[in-house]
């Protein structure tokens, strides 16, 4: 079973740039694979993802993305298939550390993920709504180009869902004994700053 870290934070807080950097340079002396679930969902909807997805599933995922909704427990098999397919496609061996971004999004998903990965660290990127708006407007993380879901209404909806459903993951993982690492994100926070902080933290 793969060891994993989970990156959570509101939209625009820098999860994807951080995960991409961890893939390029590794973490704690180990190869690291960034699994960006939001990006993966967009690939599924476009028919470009690893794994076999039916036309109905691709249409369903497209509707989920359009509505800014979450995959609930009954549909979570799609997420597990996407994760397994990506790990196989990227030749992830057992020593590889998986950085999960956008998955899990709530406690039900976190429970189901325990069949695939063992989460030892939760990284919480704290970023208030005003800073989120500034970071998205200036594309300070460099990952918003081509995003069609960054209008004000969509961002507010995702912030509300994060506060209600995803932020409580800290309590879930604390109860499992996982380490909780919190980083404060400003408009000028870079992926390197966050990654260096995690390197200093050391493995769990």
SS (H, E, C) 17-28: HHHHHHHHHCEC
Q: Which of 120, 115, 40, 55 is nearest to 85 (CA)?
A: 40
- Give the domain CATH number at 26: 3.40.50.300
Is 177 part of a structural domain of the chain? yes
pLDDT value at residue 140: 76
pLDDT value at residue 154: 72
Please write the tens of the pLDDT for every residue from 106-126. 899 999 999 899 999 999 999
> Total domain count for the chain?
1
Under-70 pLDDT residues of the chain:
50-51, 141-151
Is 201 part of a structural domain of the chain? no
Confidence (pTM): 0.85
pLDDT value at residue 67: 76
List 183's β-bridge partners, or say none: 125
Is 149 part of a structural domain of the chain? yes
Is 203 part of a structural domain of the chain? no
pLDDT value at residue 198: 95
Is 115 part of a structural domain of the chain? yes
Is 204 part of a structural domain of the chain? no
Q: What is the DSSP letter of 96?
A: P
Burial 124-139 (b: 16+ CB within 10 A, else e): bbebeeebbbbbbeee
């Amino acid at each position: 079973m793969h060891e994993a870290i989970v990156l959570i934070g509101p939209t625009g807080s820098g999860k994807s740039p951080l995960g991409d950097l961890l893939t390029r340079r590794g973490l704690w002396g180990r190869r690291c694979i960034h699994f960006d679930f939001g990006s993966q969902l967009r690939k599924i909807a476009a028919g470009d993802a690893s794994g076999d997805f039916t036309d109905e599933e691709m249409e369903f995922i497209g509707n989920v993305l359009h509505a800014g909704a979450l995959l609930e427990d009954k549909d979570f098999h799609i997420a597990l298939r996407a994760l397994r397919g990506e790990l196989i496609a990227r030749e992830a061996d057992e020593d590889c550390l998986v950085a999960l971004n956008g998955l899990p999004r709530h406690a039900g998903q976190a429970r189901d993920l325990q069949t695939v990965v063992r989460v030892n660290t939760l990284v919480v990127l704290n970023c208030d709504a005003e800073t989120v708006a500034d970071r998205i407007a200036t594309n300070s993380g460099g990952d918003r180009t081509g995003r069609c879901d960054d209008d004000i209404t969509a961002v507010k909806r995702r912030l509300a869902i994060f506060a209600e459903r995803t932020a409580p993951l800290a309590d879930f993982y604390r109860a499992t004994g996982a380490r909780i690492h919190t980083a404060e994100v400003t408009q000028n926070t870079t992926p390197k700053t966050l990654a260096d902080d995690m390197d200093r933290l050391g493995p769990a």
